[in-house]
Structure 1
Amino acid sequence: MRDYQLLIFDWDGTLVDSIARIVEAMRVAAEVSGLPWRDDAAIRGIIGLGLPEAIATLYPELDDAQRIDAFRQRYGEHYNALERQPSPLFDGVAEALETFREQGYRLAVATGKSRRGLDHVLAGRGWLDYFDVTRCADETASKPDPRMLQEILAHCGVGAEQAVMVGDSPFDLRMAHRARMDSVAVGYGAQPLAELLKESPRLAIERFEELSHWLSGGLSRQSREVESYV
């Protein structure tokens, strides 16, 4: 069994199947704001960033503060409307998280969402007190800056070598690398494993349940372990 004490998860695309809703909300916000649509690949490519950083990446020409604020508001309104029926957890997530808790792991979330946005979706699941700690992009630095992870480690009193970051975007994995932390790439979210493997994760998986098997000391046929960069 591996010696991790703390498991840190991205939210969208890692625990929750919400990528399609993010893409739709971005497109609606762009249309209402009079901005050109970006294709799915472009929008999926910014998932994981804080919203200001995501907008700046998609629309670098947008430099008017009022228009940026209006875009953010329209995105949030549409996304929260979609989340009246919470996005489903990926298969195996609920069961695995409960097992991790029973096994004594501490659980955390590190997300590009705002605090208001994360609390909204956590409340929709009755999960406001589920995790030991959560950190959001608008209360710290956006991924891939490691500050979010460093703050989680400090809160939990855990060293980087005792924690692992699980995520579906290159920003998640780069953040872990900069915090000198192991990472697990999941290939069912925003980006395919072919892209994520470029960031040298410790493990690459296609189903969430494979994480439980690996943490217990095993390795399924579908998952791939690579040499750690730490």
Structure 2
Amino acid sequence: MKLVLFDVDGTLVDSQDIIVAAQRMAFAAHGLEPPSRERSLSIVGLSLAEAFTVLVGSKGPVDGLVAAYKDAFLTLRQDPANAEPIFPGVDHCLEWLRRRGDVLLGIATGKSRRGVAHLLTRQGWQDVFSVIQTADDAPSKPHPGMILQATREVGAEPHDTVMVGDSSFDMAMARAAGVLPVGVSWGFQTVAALTEAGAGPIVHSFQELETALQEFLDAPSPISA
């Protein structure tokens, strides 16, 4: 069995508006000027402590910002107007992969396990993913821990694993873990950033992603070749 791992924010889910709003609320709670929208989105993918350290430095109120962000995000999520839409083509791609029968699906995300559980329940994806790695389970991206733990949990080899993500952190994590990094261009970072971080194929739609994944999944494993 091969393994396809997905990032969440910027890859499966268009969560940019709620992320930026929660960051602004967290900074306001500490009387700080919030970062620009571009800066806010540039750190999506990192675990919260690492993300706020990038934004305010190690001497800034990182712990307070993390706590304020969590509170703000939870408050914003209660309003249906702030629902995080999935990107067009997500459900078709996941269902296509499930029907193949020769691949396991997983998640490797900087979101909390609570945040992932909320998403899975909202989308009816509780039975879609065989392995889930979150910011609560492993070091922050780009450390390869999430991917290495995922492959061990399901018994997949690195050469039989692909990581699909929208950020340089996803690509660097995949490279460090020895798996194929596939970048998506519809997320929160640029194609140039993905390329610089070592992305393999970069796709521009879920239809293109299905084509790239089909080539990967249909290729013989190096062990059995």
Q: What's the TM-score once normalised by structure 2's chain length?
A: 0.88
User: 2:221 maps to which residue?
Assistant: none
Could you report, residue by residue, the CA deviation over 1:163-209 in whole angstroms, capped at 9, with x for unpaired residues? 00000000000000100111101111011212211112110011122
Amino acid at match of 1:181: V
Could you report, residue by residue, the CA deviation over 1:45-103 in whole angstroms, capped at 9, with x for unpaired residues? 100001111111112242474x2453243333244335676422111110011000101
Instruction: Give runs of ≥4 in structure 1 deviating > 6 Å.
Output: none
Amino acid at match of 1:171: F
User: 1:178 maps to which residue?
Assistant: 176
Work out the number of aligned pairs and report it: 214
Q: CA 1:170 to 1:69, structure 2 compared with 1: closer, same or farther past 3 Å?
A: closer
- Please say if residues 162 and 181 of structure 2, whose CA atoms lie closer than 8 Å, have aligned partners that are also in contact: yes
Q: Following the alignment from structure 1 to structure 2, what is the Cα–Cα distance between the partners of residues 77 and 33?
A: 18
- Please say if residues 174 and 181 of structure 2, whose CA atoms lie closer than 8 Å, have aligned partners that are also in contact: yes
- Please say if residues 76 and 82 of structure 2, whose CA atoms lie closer than 8 Å, have aligned partners that are also in contact: no
Q: CA 1:174 to 1:94, structure 2 compared with 1: closer, same or farther past 3 Å?
A: same
SS of the aligned residue for 1:197 comes to helix
- Please say if residues 56 and 62 of structure 2, whose CA atoms lie closer than 8 Å, have aligned partners that are also in contact: no
SS of the aligned residue for 2:91 comes to helix
User: 1:123 maps to which residue?
Assistant: 121
| Stretch moving more, 121-130 or 82-91 | 82-91
2:75 pairs with 1:75? no
Q: CA 1:82 to 1:138, structure 2 compared with 1: closer, same or farther past 3 Å?
A: farther
2:50 pairs with 1:53? yes
Q: Following the alignment from structure 2 to structure 1, what is the Cα–Cα distance between the partners of residues 148 and 62?
A: 33
Could you report, residue by residue, the CA deviation over 1:108-143 in whole angstroms, capped at 9, with x for unpaired residues? 000000111111222222223321111101221110
Superposition CA RMSD, Å:
1.9
Gaps of 5+ in 1: 219-230
Q: Following the alignment from structure 1 to structure 2, what is the Cα–Cα distance between the partners of residues 75 and 57?
A: 20
SS of the aligned residue for 2:105 comes to strand
2:166 pairs with 1:168? yes
| Stretch moving more, 145-154 or 15-24 | 15-24
Amino acid at match of 2:70: Q
